Structure 1
Amino acid sequence: MELVINGSGKKVSVSEAIFGREFNQDLVQQVVTAYRNAGRSGTKAQKTRSEVSGTTKKSKKQKGGGARHGALTAPIFVGGGVTFAAKPRSFAQKVNRKMYRAAVMSILSELNRQNRLTIVEAFDVDAPKTSGLVAKLADLKAGKRPLLVVEDASENLYLAARNIPYVEVRDVLGLDPVALVASDTVVMTEDAVKKIEEWLA
């Protein structure tokens, strides 16, 4: 299949398996969830009644004092332990390489079908100024949440984009399914397309 390069009459030949495959919603949801969970710290920690500081001696006599209580470290007391205390744990979910790549290809294909994928010959700015990048994005009608994918992003491009809310710049090696799903439009250079095909082939 062929994709039209924006701003020129040229076309770039791409793989049907990468940019024209059927969308697999269940696979994409599983991979996106696993990717986001892998970024969770999982460091939340609370103390049980055996771990809090305090004596475990019975606080008062068994009878004659109202309710019967044992140690003041019980969860019903202020300063006591937590009933089902959270402990540090990993939220990581196993996703093999084949599933991950298939999900990325499925997302790229859906972006292409929805006309949210824009191919350009090259994308860069002459100076690290936000105004220059804003003008270029306006010409491309990139929307409010554009994702710029280039083969090797220049420092000027990174500096120009960092002050614009919801604009992300990624090179091919830094591309991930969450960034693709969250963007309104993906602007991709011709060289980046070829490198993505090499990666997913």
Structure 2
Amino acid sequence: MELAINNSTKTVSVSDAIFAREFNEDLVHQVVVAYRNAGRAGTKAQKTRAEVNGTTKKSKKQKGGGARHGALTAPIFVGGGRAFAAKPRSFAQKVNRKMYRAAIAAILSELNRQGRITIVEAFDVDAPKTSGLIEKLKGFELGQRPLIVTEDASENLFLSSRNLPYVQVRDVQGLDPVALVGADSVLMTADAVKKIEEWLA
């Protein structure tokens, strides 16, 4: 299929398997959840009764004081350990490479069907200034949360976007499903489109 380049008579030829794929909601959901879980720290830690700092001396006599009990480090006492203490763990979920690439292609296809992908010949700023990027984005209708994808995001472009909380800049290598799903629209360079095709082929 052919995708039009903005403000140009040229078009870019793309594969139907990547930009006209059927949307698989279950697959996309699974990949997005797995991607977000992989970023979780998983560092929550609590102490068991064996680890809490406290005396292990018997708290009172065995007999004559009501219910019998031993150390005050038991979970039923204030300051005692947790019965089922949380320990550091990994939240990572296994996602096959084929599934990941298929999910990216499904998201791109859906964005294309909804007219939320804009392709340009090139996109960059001359200096690392936020005002310069804002001025350049005024020529496009990208919504509140645009995603800019270039073949190799320049330092000027990246630095210019840092003060704009809802504008994201990615190169093709840094493209991820969460950024694509969260964007109102995607601005791509023609070179980035070709590189994405090579990656997902």
Work out the number of aligned pairs and report it: 201
Q: Quote the residue 1:12 is aligned against.
A: 12
Q: Quote the residue 1:116 is aligned against.
A: 116
Q: Quote the residue 1:167 is aligned against.
A: 167
User: Which runs of structure 2 are paired with 1:116-135 in the superposition (5 Å)?
Assistant: 116-135=116-135
Q: Quote the residue 2:3 is aligned against.
A: 3
Q: Quote the residue 1:151 is aligned against.
A: 151
Structure 2: give runs of 5+ residues left out of the alignment: none
Deviates more, 1:176-185 or 1:132-141: 132-141
Report sequence identity in percent. Answer: 80
Give the Å deviation of 1:64: 3.5
- For 2:48, the aligned partner's letter is T
User: Which runs of structure 2 are paired with 1:8-47 in the superposition (5 Å)?
Assistant: 8-47=8-47
Mapped to 1, the partners of 2:14 and 2:121 lie a distance apart of: 14
Structure 1: give runs of 5+ residues left out of the alignment: none
Deviation by residue 1:132-181 (Cα, 9 ceiling, x = unmatched)? 21122121111111110000111111111111111111100111111111
Mapped to 2, the partners of 1:74 and 1:89 lie a distance apart of: 24
Deviates more, 1:124-133 or 1:54-63: 54-63
Secondary structure class of the residue paired with 1:140: coil
Deviates more, 1:136-145 or 1:177-186: 136-145
- For 1:132, the aligned partner's letter is G
Compute the TM-score of the two structures, normalised by the length of structure 2: 0.96
- For 1:85, the aligned partner's letter is A
Mapped to 2, the partners of 1:89 and 1:153 lie a distance apart of: 34
- For 1:154, the aligned partner's letter is S
- For 1:165, the aligned partner's letter is P
- For 2:172, the aligned partner's letter is V
Secondary structure class of the residue paired with 2:139: helix
Mapped to 2, the partners of 1:58 and 1:26 lie a distance apart of: 56
Mapped to 2, the partners of 1:21 and 1:13 lie a distance apart of: 15
Cα RMSD (Å): 1.2
- For 2:47, the aligned partner's letter is K
- For 2:119, the aligned partner's letter is I
User: Which runs of structure 2 are paired with 1:83-98 in the superposition (5 Å)?
Assistant: 83-98=83-98
Give the Å deviation of 1:69: 2.9
Deviates more, 1:67-76 or 1:12-21: 67-76
Compute the TM-score of the two structures, normalised by the length of structure 1: 0.96
Q: Quote the residue 2:181 is aligned against.
A: 181
Mapped to 2, the partners of 1:129 and 1:44 lie a distance apart of: 40
Mapped to 1, the partners of 2:89 and 2:99 lie a distance apart of: 24
Give the Å deviation of 1:62: 3.4
Q: Quote the residue 1:191 is aligned against.
A: 191
Give the Å deviation of 1:122: 0.6
Secondary structure class of the residue paired with 1:139: coil
Mapped to 1, the partners of 2:7 and 2:68 lie a distance apart of: 80
